[in-house]
Structure 1
């Protein structure tokens, strides 16, 4: 059975340095898709790079960092300074019922429309910055918006056997398991709105310094075997001759602490060399040989539309 691996570079547009690294990974055949942030200092540069290359363009929906794209003065989605509330701040307020979901709908619509203005067409896929697209309260609005714009693809961030990967930083474990649980609950919502995802997913456990060739090989093969096993017992999928897996990655070059990003600079991950490390691992001869030996073809999200 053919195995199609969709390798996505997240945070395209964050800065010129991030863009440089993503394009280097693309030109080396290490990634095929990139998810665009619309409210960053490198957004316009990223748009130009999309237009001059075959890199598959997606939207990285952002409700947690920087300033909104929409021109409405939101009351509950942002701080008094008109800045998103952050990865944990927004989740906390959503859980407490303190966010007006009409504002969520308006900002999602504004970002899709802005993307269309910049690229001239709808994104091939939309995923969520910091996985915000699967958050309860957001996911229903998100799925309906994609369906309305005839966008058929999103990310399903469920990486199996995360607890059996001892290298994962315990600091992130609870967040990762929360993401997986919310994604599983989002699945029927995506299905109802005719939104497709890859058969499997990897990348939570292999970000930055946690990425090595051996670990990547392990999680990718594990994901494909799991997908093939599930397919074998699903009659509606037994006619297919392939399985798909999305690998989430974060290639790039370090962004300065005081410039780039969301106008005020970068966080520790953005400033570190961990993203260069990802480029080196992803584009290594070791990984390219692994793909050949295991009947894996690196592709873009467009494979899911066939």
Structure 2
């Protein structure tokens, strides 16, 4: 696959803090992003949503489903007995099945929060720490999207690329292959449900400031699939982010690089919508 193919570049974590959100808005204004996904369980989301919605014609806006950081929108005594999400570990080890009904309810609440703040259905859905790929979450999410949006099904991000493409990129191959393992069968599940998805995924990072982000961005473009999507995590660091996430200063590196890279327009898929406002993915 040619690295010159146009790709979707999507920024994760809009809404996690004002600083991160402001950085993402800067990139949208500069034409450096195709999409961004919002976390709707943080208290700042309602205040941050209008600025994002105002840029709807320039960027696809999705839900960044969050079951691993911060607090649920309502009590989840099985999954989050302390009122705080447990991180990704229980999902990795298959220990969340007993919380299936709670997970389904929280998915509905986060979709409600997205719709209430934006007045629209999400253009796409993905997951913080790729939590949406794990079976109890996957099943509930697919059911919710099919029921809620029968005539306007959102795209669901598939972070599991083909092994051959992962090996061409080489860097972060273990991490990418691990995600692909957990995402096995997702593309088929989405196809059966009539939900669109990407074909090709990259953007894994060491999150190490010693490694220039520009080189990671070039790696993410290698072996691009026919409907390729790459993730990124740009933003300004503020006290709120530092209290909520371990990924801090590296976000500044990603933001600065994406703002500086003049070549991005040559390979970035620009967001386009049809007359009804639907995103025309990879068109």
Pairwise same-fold verdict (TM > 0.5): yes
Aligned residue number for residue 68 of structure 2: 64
Higher CA-based Rg: 1
CA distance 1:185–1:107, change in 2 (3 Å): same
CA distance 1:178–1:167, change in 2 (3 Å): closer
Q: CA offsets, 1:45-86, max 9 Å, x none?
A: 3202123223321110111111112x3x3231212x211111
What TM-score results when the alignment is normalised by the length of structure 1? 0.78
1:198 aligns with 2:169: no
Aligned residue number for residue 144 of structure 2: 145
Instruction: Determine helix, strand or coil for the equivalent of 2:229.
Output: strand
Aligned residue number for residue 177 of structure 1: 177
Gaps of 5+ in 2: 273-278
- Report deviation, 1:251: 0.7
Aligned residue number for residue 189 of structure 1: 189
Aligned residue number for residue 50 of structure 2: 48
Aligned residue number for residue 304 of structure 1: 281
Query: 1:156·1:197 contact (CA, 8 Å) conserved in 2?
Result: yes
What TM-score results when the alignment is normalised by the length of structure 2? 0.83
What's the RMSD between the two structures over aligned residues? Answer: 2.7
5 Å-filtered alignment, 1:21-32, equals 21-32=23-34
Query: 1:208·1:250 contact (CA, 8 Å) conserved in 2?
Result: no
Indicate the structure with greater helix content. Answer: 1
5 Å-filtered alignment, 1:103-122, equals 103-122=102-121
5 Å-filtered alignment, 1:12-27, equals 12-27=14-29
- Number of aligned pairs? 267
CA distance 1:205–1:287, change in 2 (3 Å): farther
CA distance 1:48–1:189, change in 2 (3 Å): same
Task: Give, in whole Å, the separation in 1 of the partners of 2:175 and 2:251.
Answer: 21
Task: Give, in whole Å, the separation in 2 of the partners of 1:174 and 1:297.
Answer: 26
Task: Give, in whole Å, the separation in 1 of the partners of 2:5 and 2:147.
Answer: 31
Gaps of 5+ in 1: 228-242
CA distance 1:247–1:166, change in 2 (3 Å): closer
Aligned residue number for residue 235 of structure 2: 252
Q: Which of 276-285 and 204-213 deviates more?
A: 204-213
Task: Give, in whole Å, the separation in 2 of the partners of 1:41 and 1:96.
Answer: 28
